[in-house]
Structure 1
Amino acid sequence: MPTLDDQQVKQAFRRVLGGPRLSAEYVQRWVGRIRCDGLGPEGQLLLAIGDKFYRDFITDHFLRDILAGMYEELSVELAVGWVIDESLKTEAPLPDQPPPRFAHPAAPVAPVAAPGAANGAAQSTGYRLDERYTFDTFVSAPSNQLACAGAIALAEKPGSTFNPLFIYGGTGLGKTHLLHAIGNRLLQLDPSRRIIYLSSEQFLNEYILFVRENRMPEFRRKYRDECDCLLIDDIQFLGSKESTQDEFFHTFNALYSLGKPVAITSDAIPAEIPGIADRLRTRFASGLTADIQEPDYETRVAILKKKAEGLGFLLPDPVAHYIASVVQKNVRELQMALNRVFAHHSLTGQPLTVDLAAHILKNVLPASRPLDIDEVQKEVAKYYNVSLDDLRGPRRQKQLVRARQVAIYLSRRLTENSFPEIGAKFKRDHSTAISSCEKIEKEMGSDLQLKKELDELVNRLAR
């Protein structure tokens, strides 16, 4: 496990309590009674609570979300060690029927101000919109361009032909970010708007709760009459839930008929979601359907730079390129890797280098280590089917020149070697190394084949 200190853990715990996984009402009533004491002697998360009854209640209903949030913050899976501290004991009774894990609070929670909105004016209901997730902090790229453009259009022109917006793609690629960005932009433009953001599992659990308590008129009033925008995540979890699908169908129709924006995310296109009624598939596909794909190498670098900027520090180019080369699956893993590097740097004051990044990430990415120029040369020579001697030699055939320039570019991006050191490895001076990098950088913006070759080589070198 990477080195963590108590202060890091306590700060992460506070961020989890203030984050979107837990509703404000639940934190105020129950979860906020927990005290985080940092890490125990065996690296477990130490949580103090007033008595064993509250401990069991929290464990049954909230611990999974707390630990998931801690993993998102620290990129570490933590076990829990409970401490009973009677000074934290409260006389407030536990509810007779505890809320389901994802149930919305029945009473409205405190509104969340959108960026730039007057304090207390915004009307986001239930689970919070995360103010960090805006269009300004989203990196638009070919892998997500249509989804991003559709989200902006829906937020700025809610009655447009892009309603509903259906975004699909794998885990951790930015679908949830765009939902929050839509809500934040709507509130920025009109703080009086009532925005509901939740997952389909939360919708399901709240529906069950309201049915059990004979409060369906209140449920329908909340989602149909008092909602100006519905943002629903992971709709695939409604698969085979027929009665909940029926309720969602009528909720969708009520909002759509009034021109109110609806944005939905899923891990698959409407036609491929198991157990979803045909009439819902038709509704989902009636507006704009857009996918988000895995970010390519250059997009991963841009994402790291943007997120580092949000954390308030400058990520050196070699480190950004190194992380982008070894973390390839999704944006969430990039964020976790960056969080680790930033935490280590800010707490120790050590300068950020590729070697340091590799050391910090070695527990997450066991194969991660800095590349050297020899490895880059071997992989590039193999990819372009040329010999190492020719790659390093004086011959100027077109294929050789391309391979040599690519190898020099990747050596600069994926190692910490200077231009003179790189030039020496290719039996050239530093000015030739500089011009090779500049040429590749210039051409990759318009040469799609070159961009594809670079992505494939980066992926190979990361294995």
Structure 2
Amino acid sequence: MNALAQAATPLPSAGILWARMLDAIRQEKFDYALRWLERMRPLEVRDGALVMGVPDRFFRDWVDDHYRPMLDVQLARMGEGLTSIAYEVVEGLEPDPHFPPTPSVKASATRPGRLNARFTFDTFVVADSNQLPAAAAQAVADKPGHHYNPLYIYGGTGLGKTHLLQAVGNLIWERDPSQRVVFLSSEQFTNEYVESVREHRMGDFRRKFREECDVLLLDDIQFLGKREETQKEFFYTFNTLYEMNKAIVLTSDTVPAEIPGLEDRLRSRFAMGLMTDIREPTYETRVAILQKKAVAEGLDLPDSVAHFIAKHIQKNVRELEGALVKLSAVHSLTRQPVTEDFASQVLRDILPAHSAVDVEAIQREVARFYKVTVESLKEDRRHKALAHARQVAMYLSRKLTKSSFPEIAARFSKDHSTVISAVRKVEGLRVTDATVQRELAELELKLGNP
């Protein structure tokens, strides 16, 4: 066959290509991935990409974050010239009858929409950084509507808020499948509201969220800010559920008072229950998360590799999980031993690049760590906690930069004798005080000096 004839040979259909990929993934024993991948629907081949239908953007982002390396490898192995996987959100997407779920998924076929059976309390690593929100979420799941109603969990991206939110819904539903659990993001709530207004189906919308809802789990509530009509509808939904002792759990990236455009009446409602934050995981917690996730993925993860990843990925649990999934996928495909060098090569596009640290970066990191402002580190206030943070920042500035005592003093608006005194004090505490030892170790890791 000549080159022209080969170029004219049509690609197999999207369905055939996807079936071949799923068969290959099954043969590699990637059962944990099949729970997600089998819910996607092959749509078409377009511009060198296999286009897959997904039920929502959360699903799309999860699959792309966790399984893209695996899918890219399978695409390359097929040798059909496809370069990537693309996604299209298809509302109300149902499993394709040509791709029936594996037995492990059948039990969750009637699980409330958008809930992922993998997000449970058993798979959540509890530590000092998340102990209170985890305990509160467990209490809500144990007795919905009676403890901490509403429960408001806030914190940075990728720290486990959505995991806890889904764990609440999964446990409630698993204990009592008659419980009507509704889980969605505030953006999805807004989209459903707008669509219901446009199609004159507000009766159905209100019935779903008020009359037919026992547990409302709303993710990323901050996106309701500045959406006046949606906020109004949510306010009445909130009141209806609250008055009927229906459980309400909300997550956000910040406290209600700091959400731009959020109505005061909603802020006051959110404060009626319990507000609790999830903080960035400590070094020990990151190692524990990696070890627990490795067991779930069936990966034999050496301690040295867990410590290597934990040292470099410091602020985001989702990034830790993504790194581990990629490591597991490449290891399964190549059968190379899991070593630090192997992890460094596989994760080179994930691990943050090392950059030189300066006094300003140290001030920012120390201020964030001790929950004070950078400006307060430069003031003359002698509050004990603030003075300790200032002394630690001066000590790290001397240790991690080439700045002289007078140069450091100038950055803190102090004289150089104050910096010398602070450095000597922290040096002594590092030897005698275990708490200070841990604080300094964590800060040095965050500043890229493991």
Residues 301 and 321 of structure 1 are in contact (CA less than 8 Å); yes or no, is this contact kept in structure 2?
A: yes
Which digits, 9 at most, give the CA deviation of each residue in 1:243-299, with x for residues without a partner? 111111111111111111100011110111111111111111110101111111111
Q: How does 1:186-265 map to 2 (within 5 A)?
A: 186-265=172-251
Residues 169 and 175 of structure 1 are in contact (CA less than 8 Å); yes or no, is this contact kept in structure 2?
A: yes
Residues 173 and 331 of structure 1 are in contact (CA less than 8 Å); yes or no, is this contact kept in structure 2?
A: yes
Residues 185 and 219 of structure 2 are in contact (CA less than 8 Å); yes or no, is this contact kept in structure 1?
A: yes
Of the three residues 433, 439, 442, the one matched with 1:452 is 439
User: What residue number does 1:134 align with?
Assistant: 120
Question: 1:314 and 1:402, CA in 2 relative to 1: closer, same or farther beyond 3 A?
Answer: farther
Q: CA deviation at 1:448?
A: 2.3
SS in 2 for 1:34: strand
User: What residue number does 2:49 align with?
Assistant: 46
Which digits, 9 at most, give the CA deviation of each residue in 1:208-252, with x for residues without a partner? 111111111111111111111000000111111111111111111
Question: 1:33 and 1:8, CA in 2 relative to 1: closer, same or farther beyond 3 A?
Answer: closer
Q: What CA distance in whole angstroms lies between the structure 1 residues aligned with 2:114 and 2:165?
A: 12
Which digits, 9 at most, give the CA deviation of each residue in 1:64-95, with x for residues without a partner? 7676344312466999x9xxx9xxxxxxxxxx
The one-letter code matched in structure 1 to 2:438 is K
Q: CA deviation at 1:309?
A: 1.0
Of the three residues 50, 53, 72, the one matched with 2:65 is 72
User: What residue number does 2:269 align with?
Assistant: 283
Question: 1:209 and 1:400, CA in 2 relative to 1: closer, same or farther beyond 3 A?
Answer: closer
Question: 1:10 and 1:333, CA in 2 relative to 1: closer, same or farther beyond 3 A?
Answer: farther
Residues 429 and 436 of structure 2 are in contact (CA less than 8 Å); yes or no, is this contact kept in structure 1?
A: no
Q: Which runs of 5+ in 1 are unaligned?
A: 1-5, 38-43, 50-57, 86-99, 107-115, 369-378, 386-397, 406-442
Q: CA deviation at 1:314?
A: 2.5
Q: What CA distance in whole angstroms lies between the structure 2 residues aligned with 1:364 and 1:118?
A: 34
The one-letter code matched in structure 2 to 1:168 is Y
Question: 1:10 and 1:63, CA in 2 relative to 1: closer, same or farther beyond 3 A?
Answer: farther
Q: What CA distance in whole angstroms lies between the structure 1 residues aligned with 2:155 and 2:56?
A: 28
RMSD: 4.3
Which digits, 9 at most, give the CA deviation of each residue in 1:82-122, with x for residues without a partner? xxx9xxxxxxxxxxxxxx9696689xxxxxxxxx9994796
Question: 1:315 and 1:123, CA in 2 relative to 1: closer, same or farther beyond 3 A?
Answer: closer
Q: What CA distance in whole angstroms lies between the structure 1 residues aligned with 2:93 and 2:240?
A: 22
Which digits, 9 at most, give the CA deviation of each residue in 1:120-147, with x for residues without a partner? 79662xx321111100110111111111
Question: 1:187 and 1:450, CA in 2 relative to 1: closer, same or farther beyond 3 A?
Answer: same
Of the three residues 18, 26, 32, the one matched with 2:41 is 32
The one-letter code matched in structure 2 to 1:47 is L
Of the three residues 338, 346, 353, the one matched with 1:367 is 353
Residues 71 and 77 of structure 1 are in contact (CA less than 8 Å); yes or no, is this contact kept in structure 2?
A: no
Q: CA deviation at 1:45?
A: 6.8
Q: What CA distance in whole angstroms lies between the structure 1 residues aligned with 2:435 and 2:214?
A: 42
Residues 210 and 219 of structure 1 are in contact (CA less than 8 Å); yes or no, is this contact kept in structure 2?
A: yes
Which digits, 9 at most, give the CA deviation of each residue in 1:47-68, with x for residues without a partner? 169xxxxxxxx7xx98976763
Residues 122 and 193 of structure 1 are in contact (CA less than 8 Å); yes or no, is this contact kept in structure 2?
A: no
Question: 1:448 and 1:399, CA in 2 relative to 1: closer, same or farther beyond 3 A?
Answer: closer
Residues 136 and 148 of structure 2 are in contact (CA less than 8 Å); yes or no, is this contact kept in structure 1?
A: yes
- Asked if 1:312 is matched to 2:321, the reply is no
SS in 2 for 1:167: strand
SS in 2 for 1:282: helix
Residues 122 and 194 of structure 1 are in contact (CA less than 8 Å); yes or no, is this contact kept in structure 2?
A: no
Residues 73 and 339 of structure 1 are in contact (CA less than 8 Å); yes or no, is this contact kept in structure 2?
A: yes
Question: 1:221 and 1:171, CA in 2 relative to 1: closer, same or farther beyond 3 A?
Answer: same
Of the three residues 313, 328, 331, the one matched with 1:345 is 331
Between the aligned residues of both structures, percent identity stands at 47
Q: What CA distance in whole angstroms lies between the structure 2 residues aligned with 1:457 and 1:261?
A: 42
The one-letter code matched in structure 1 to 2:439 is K
Question: 1:118 and 1:257, CA in 2 relative to 1: closer, same or farther beyond 3 A?
Answer: farther
- Asked if 1:153 is matched to 2:139, the reply is yes
Q: What CA distance in whole angstroms lies between the structure 2 residues aligned with 1:294 and 1:34?
A: 39
Q: What CA distance in whole angstroms lies between the structure 2 residues aligned with 1:214 and 1:147?
A: 39
Q: CA deviation at 1:158?
A: 1.4
Q: What CA distance in whole angstroms lies between the structure 2 residues aligned with 1:104 and 1:181?
A: 23
Q: How many residues are aligned here? A: 345
Question: 1:9 and 1:297, CA in 2 relative to 1: closer, same or farther beyond 3 A?
Answer: farther
SS in 1 for 2:141: helix
Q: What CA distance in whole angstroms lies between the structure 2 residues aligned with 1:101 and 1:268?
A: 28
Question: 1:36 and 1:250, CA in 2 relative to 1: closer, same or farther beyond 3 A?
Answer: same
Normalised TM-score (structure 2): 0.66
Q: What CA distance in whole angstroms lies between the structure 2 residues aligned with 1:177 and 1:203?
A: 19
Q: CA deviation at 1:457?
A: 2.8
User: What residue number does 1:300 align with?
Assistant: 286
Question: 1:276 and 1:48, CA in 2 relative to 1: closer, same or farther beyond 3 A?
Answer: closer
Of the three residues 160, 163, 168, the one matched with 1:174 is 160
